[in-house]
Amino acid sequence: MGRRAVPQRIAGRYELISLISSGGMGQVWRGYDTVLDRDIAVKLIKPEIAESADRAEFLARFRREARVTAKIEHHGVPSVFDASFDEEADRLYLVMQLVRGLSLADLLAEHADPLPVSWAVSIAAQICTVLSYAHAVPVVHRDIKPENVMVDRAGSVKVLDFGIASVLGTDVTRLTATGRVLGTRPYMSPEQIRNVPVSPRSDLYALGCLLHELLAGERVFDAVDEIPLMYQHLSEPPVPLRKLRPDVPTALELLVLELLAKEAADRPVDAWTVYERLAPLLPPPDTGASPDLAPPPTGVPDPTRPYRRPAAPRPRPVATGGPTGPAPAPEAPSPVDPSTPAGSDSVGGTVAEQEIDEAVDHALALLDEDRFSQAADVLAEVIALAPAGQGADSPKLLELRLTHAVALFLGGDFRRALPELRTLADTLSRLHGPSDGRAIDCRKQAAYCHAELGQFEEALHEMENLRPHAAALFGDRSEELFALRLDHARFQVAAGRDGTAARTLRLLHSEAAAALGRAHPLVTDVAAILARIRFQDGRTT
The CATH number linked to 408 is 1.25.40.10
Do 523 and 441 share a structural domain?
A: yes
pLDDT of residue 176: 43
Q: Which domain holds residue 106?
A: 101-287+300-308
Same domain, 106 and 26: no
For 94, the enclosing helix (H) or strand (E) is: strand 91-97
Q: Specify the pLDDT at position 80.
A: 84
Are residues 236 and 183 both part of a single domain? yes
133 within domain boundaries: yes
Q: Domain end: 72, 97, 122, which one?
A: 97
39 catalytic residue (yes or no):
no
Highest mean pLDDT among 59-63, 386-390, 472-476: 472-476
Is residue 330's pLDDT more than 60?
Answer: no
38/165 same-domain check: no
Cis? peptide before 138, omega within 30° of 0: yes
pLDDT beyond 70 at 363: yes
Q: Which DSSP string corresponds to 49-65?
A: HHHTS-HHHHHHHHHHH
Catalytic residue among 86, 143, 426, 498: 143
Residue 321's pLDDT is: 47
Residues 403 and 498 in one domain: yes
Residues 67 and 115 in one domain: no
Any domain includes 269: yes
Is 280 in the same domain as 253?
yes
Residues 33 and 109 in one domain: no
Give the domain CATH number at 116.
1.10.510.10
Per-chain mean pLDDT for the chain = 81
pLDDT at 484 over 90: yes
- Among the candidates 82, 97, 112, a domain finishes at 97
Tell me the C-alpha distance between 243 and 528, whole Å.
37
Instruction: Say which residue, 393 or 379, is predicted with more confidence.
Output: 379
Residues 6+ apart with CB under 8 A from 125: 275, 278, 279, 282, 307
Cβ contact 369:411 at 8 Å: no
The DSSP secondary-structure symbol of 266 reads G
Question: Same domain for 268 and 384?
Answer: no
Q: Within 13 Å and on the Cβ side, how many CA atoms surround 347?
A: 0
Per 3-state DSSP, the chain is made up of helix, strand and coil in percentages (nearest 5) of: 50, 10, 40
The answer to the question of residue 367 being in a domain is yes
Give the model's pLDDT for residue 325: 41
Output the domain CATH number for residue 68: 3.30.200.20
Mean pLDDT lowest among 22-36, 385-399, 484-498: 385-399
b/e map 257-275, b = 16+ CB within 10 Å: bbbbbbebeebbebbbbbb
pLDDT, tens digit (0-9, with 9 covering 90-100), for 151-170: 988 888 999 888 665 555 55
Segment holding 181, helix H or strand E: strand 181-182
Same domain, 186 and 263: yes
pLDDT band (50, 70, 90) for residue 505: very high
Domain boundary among 97, 126, 146: 97
Confidence class for position 241, pLDDT limits 50, 70, 90: very high
Task: Give how many domains the chain has, as a whole number.
Answer: 3
Report percent pLDDT > 70 for the chain.
Answer: 79
Asked whether the beta carbons of 399 and 383 are under 8 A apart, the reply is no
42 and 178 inside one domain: no
Clarify whether residues 282 and 397 are in a common domain. no
pLDDT reading at 541 higher than 70: no
